[in-house]
Amino acid sequence: MHSAIKSAAACAALACCAAGCRDGGDSGKARPAPVVRVLAAEAVAKTMPVRLRTIGHVEPIQTVAVRPRVGGELTKVWFQEGQRVEAGDTLFTIDPRPYDAALKQAEAELAKDQALLRKAEADVARYAELVKKDFVTKEQFDLIVANAESLKAGVAADEANIERARLEREFCTITAPIAGRTGDLMVKAGNLVKANDDRALVVVNQIRPIYVVFTATAEFLPEFVNRPAGSIKVSAQPPDGGAGPYEGVLTFMDNVIDRASSTVMLKATFPNERETLWPGLFVDVLVVLREEPDRVVVPTTAVQTGQEGQFVFVIERDATVELRPVAVARMVDQESVIDRGLAPGERVVSDAEFRRLVPGSRVEVKAGLVPETAPAGTGDRKE
């Protein structure tokens, strides 16, 4: 830094000498360096939030691929593609007639077996008296009892068959498992479908509420761990810069850090009442982590970078400038948060006249052009 400053000062001196030679050198003295007119800003102390900016994408909280649980002809579709549906709304109807017939057959089998069971139970009661009087053998009585028990099991199986037939009949009406928005209709009415087909009839995505998924580097983990649920606010802005930003809260942090990228996956939940956040959309994510009081802030235009690091030109009381090394914590939008090197109340050069300045240069602040620093609330950390 000092070598760069010395070089700049030497160049300025050579320029002055050259100017004196052109003037004839009659006085033998170099002309004074010109006053440089600059913009200035004051370093201020204020509360600055620590925030994370990154890019995320929108994905539904739930996605359900609707498939038929019974086979048959798809007789009716009850919705339009892309329509919003509520949980329980009817989506499809499969021809129920074969299942109605199967249900009636199961009910008939039950009625027949129940009649046989009643006769068998009467036989058991009658043979129980006969075996006591030795009119029938014990073996004959055991056969009557076994027949009754067999018919009782048959009745239980018939009842189970009826229950299954009723379920299959119910499955002919396919309803929405979740509230959401339907996608492309894969199968039209009139086609045959089979039970548990690999091909979904339609996919329903939950849109309200919805997730915004993003990642943060491992250095941010202490900011997220052990924070109460819902305490971390997240905003999402679509890249077109239109509506938004949308407000949500952090609801999930993955339990593993990706070894390849050293990042952790996070999810924020957004109400999405107007359904403006759409699955697959990329958004700019801003996470407010915490606030830091009494941070020294200057305009970002005041901070320059040299061979030995970052620096500013501080305007002294005698209207000369001092080159001051500074440590910048973060730069966001139009402000830089200074860790060390500046104190509140000091004035710094904040325009593009740095090439004309060397330590000790005399400056004049342009009247009426002293800009204020940007408002608080833009202190970001960006991945």
Amino acid identity at 222: P
Q: In this structure, are 281 and 335 located in the same domain?
A: no
pTM score, two decimals?
0.68
The rounded distance, in Å, linking the Cα atoms of 311 and 299 is 13
Q: In this structure, are 189 and 96 located in the same domain?
A: yes
Task: Tell me what pLDDT residue 231 has.
Answer: 86
CB atoms closer than 10 angstroms to residue 298 = 24
Of 291, 320, 354, the residue at which a domain comes to its end is: 291
Q: Are residues 180 and 204 in contact, defined by beta-carbon separation less than 8 angstroms?
A: yes
Task: Tell me what pLDDT residue 14 has.
Answer: 40
3-state secondary structure of 173: strand
Question: Is the pLDDT assigned to residue 383 strictly greater than 50?
Answer: no
Q: In this structure, are 86 and 169 located in the same domain?
A: yes
Categorize the per-residue pLDDT at 185 as very low, low, confident or very high, splitting at 50, 70 and 90: very high
DSSP state of 364: E
Task: Tell me what pLDDT residue 356 has.
Answer: 83
Of 170, 203, 236, the residue at which a domain comes to its end is: 203
Q: In this structure, are 310 and 262 located in the same domain?
A: no
Q: Are residues 314 and 265 in contact, defined by beta-carbon separation less than 8 angstroms?
A: no
* 309 contacts: CB under 8 Å, gap ≥ 6: 1, 325
The CATH number linked to 35 is 2.40.420.20
**Full domain range(s) for residue 148:** 66-203
Categorize the per-residue pLDDT at 31 as very low, low, confident or very high, splitting at 50, 70 and 90: low
The number of domains in the chain is: 4
Structure tokens that stand for 36 in this block: 């440089």
Q: How many residues does the chain have?
A: 383
Chain segment 320-375, per-residue pLDDT in tens = 999 999 999 887 778 899 999 999 999 999 886 677 888 998 988 885 455 444 44
Task: Tell me what pLDDT residue 353 has.
Answer: 67
Chain segment 229-261, per-residue pLDDT in tens = 788 999 999 887 667 789 999 999 999 999 999
Instruction: Identify the weakest region by mean pLDDT among 205-209, 215-219, 240-244.
Output: 240-244
Can you list the pairs that 183-188 forms with residues at least 24 positions away whose Cβ atoms lie under 8 Å? 183/81, 183/82, 184/81, 185/77, 185/81, 187/74, 188/74, 188/77
Q: In this structure, are 335 and 284 located in the same domain?
A: no
Q: Are residues 207 and 219 in contact, defined by beta-carbon separation less than 8 angstroms?
A: no
Average pLDDT over residues 208-225: 91
Q: In this structure, are 154 and 86 located in the same domain?
A: yes
Of 138, 169, 203, the residue at which a domain comes to its end is: 203
Categorize the per-residue pLDDT at 17 as very low, low, confident or very high, splitting at 50, 70 and 90: very low
